[in-house]
Structure 1
Amino acid sequence: MIREIRLLGDPDLYSASALVQKEELSELDGLQQDLHDTMMEFRRIYHAGRAIAAPQIGIAKRVIYMNTGEPVLFINPILEFPDDCKMDVMDDCMSFPGLYVMVERYKRCIVQYRNIRWEECRMELEGDLSELIQHEYDHLDGILATMRAKDNKSFFMRK
C-alpha cells in the first residue's frame, strides 16, 4: 500500500526509532511491501528514490528498504566505518523533494543487520551506496540531511 511520506517539519521525523524485536517479524512483510510501494510511487512522480526508512512513513522502527536493482530489507542496522575517508555529496530526500543539501559522508561503510528471516547479515558499501545507507540510517535516529549541512550556504533547489 502506498503510504504518505512525512515531510520536512513533521515532528515524527525527528524522533529516534525503536529496535525491531524478533516477535514483530511477521509484521515486517506488510511494512516491506508498504515501503516498496511508497518508494515506487515516489519514483514514478519524481524519477528518483533508491531507499526509504520506516520513519518516513510514520513507522518508528529501525527498518530500511533499499532497491537499487535487488530489494534489501535492513532490520536493526548498525553502521561501521573502516576508515576516515570522507566525501562531499549533494543529498536529497523523499521528505523534502526538490531540495538538495551539501553534506559530508564516509566514502565506505559496513552495515550489519538482520534480514526478513532474522539472519545476521553484513554488507560493505562504497561511494553512492555508502552515502545512501548513511542517509537512511540517519532517519532511524531522527536526523535529517538538513541537520548535516556543511554550512548555511549548502542548500540548493532543483530546477
Structure 2
Amino acid sequence: MPAVRHASFAPHVAPDTQLLILGSLPGARSLAERQYYAHPTNQFWRLLGEVVGRPLADMPYKDRLAALREAKVGLWDVIRSAERHTSSDSLIREVEAHDLAALVADLPNLGMIAFNGGTAAAIGRKQLPPLDGIAIVDLPSSSAAHTIGFAAKLEKWLALKTALEV
C-alpha cells in the first residue's frame, strides 16, 4: 500500500495560551473524525484531564476544546503534512514542518511547550528558536502504542500543571 500525504489541523490556541502541547501528526482515526486524539485507546484526554482538573475524556469534543481554552491550553502538531500509510509515527516520511516560531511569537503569555512523544520532540525542537522564559518538556506519548502504562505517563504529564499555576 503506497503512503498517502496527510495534513494536520489548524492550531487550537488563543492569545492568552500559557501551555502549548504539540503532537506529531494526527492518526487515521483523528483525521477521519477531524478531532485531535480521536482514537479511543489514546490516553491524551485522560492525561490532560488530570492536568487541568476536568473529566475531558467524558466530554463531547467541542466541550473538550472549550475547556482547554478556558484552562489556557493550546494544541497543535509539529508536522504540517507528511506521507504515511498507517498511524505509526515511525512510518512518517517526507515531513513538512509547521512554522512553530511564528505561532510562539504570537503567544505572549506562553510559559511552556510540551511535546507529546519522541517524534514530536525530535521534529519540533528543530523548529523553535532559542526561547527565554519558556520551559520545554518532552512527554511520553499518549498513544496506546507507547506501553509504559497510564500511571507512569501521568507522573510526567502532571509536570504541565506548573505552566498553568498563576
After TM superposition, is the score higher than 0.5? no
Larger RCO (CA within 8 A; separation ≥ 6): 2
TM-score, normalization: structure 1? 0.29
TM-score, normalization: structure 2? 0.28
